[in-house]
Amino acid sequence: MRYNPFRDYDKYGCIKLPLMLFLSLGYLIKGYVIWVVSLSYRKDPSVLLNLFYPSRADFYHALIIAIPALLCVVIVSLRRTGMPTFIETFWHRIRGLLITCALIQIGDSVWQGNVSLHNLMHFKAYYGVLIDVMVLVAIVAYCLLNQRIIDVSKQYPVALDGDNQ
C-alpha cells in the first residue's frame, strides 16, 4: 500500500495535497508574496521591495511572469466539491500548468541574459540567479517525477451521498 488510509486521505477519499505543492506554488508566485509581505511592513513598505527588486521594472516584470502561477493558486484553492467542471478540467492539468510556469520563469532568466553558457563558464552569473534556476528545475522535476503529485492530480473530490456542500 502506497498511502496510509488514516493519514493521507481526506473525507472525500482523495489524497491530501502535499506540502511541497504549496511550497512550489509559493516559490512560483514569489513576487506577489514579497509584495504582500512588504505591504504589511509598517514603517516603509518600499524597503523590502527594494531589497528584492532594485528597480520597479524588475518588480513589475516578476508580477507579470507570475500570472500563470497565480492561476494555478486559484485552481488549487477552488479544488472542492460542487465547483464547475472546468475547474476539474484545469485540476487534472495542474502538473502541466506548474511545469509551464516554472519553464516560463527559467526562460525569462535566460532571455534576460542572467543565465547563459558564457556567464556560467566564467563565473559571471549571480549566485542568486543560479539558485533560482536550480529551484525552478527542481520544481519541474518534482512535478514530472513525484508519484504523489501524479496521483493527486488524477483525483478530484466528489460529494458523497448525504454530504451537504
pLDDT 10s per residue in the chain (165 long)? 476 666 667 777 777 788 999 999 999 999 999 999 988 877 887 888 888 888 888 889 889 999 999 999 998 888 878 788 888 888 889 999 999 999 999 988 878 766 666 655 665 557 777 788 899 999 999 999 988 888 888 877 776 665 555
Residue 48: all three cell numbers together: 523590502
Count of CB atoms situated within 10 Å of the CB of 72: 23
If 0-12 CB within 10 Å is exposed, 13-18 middle and 19+ buried, where does residue 98 land?
A: buried
pTM: 0.82
Residues with Cβ within 8 Å of 97's Cβ and at least 6 positions away in sequence, in order, are 68, 71, 72, 75, 90
Length of the chain: 165
Q: How far is CA 117 from CA 120, 122, 123, 136, 141, in A?
A: 5, 9, 10, 18, 21
Closest CA to 28 of 127, 79, 103: 103
Count of CB atoms situated within 10 Å of the CB of 81: 13
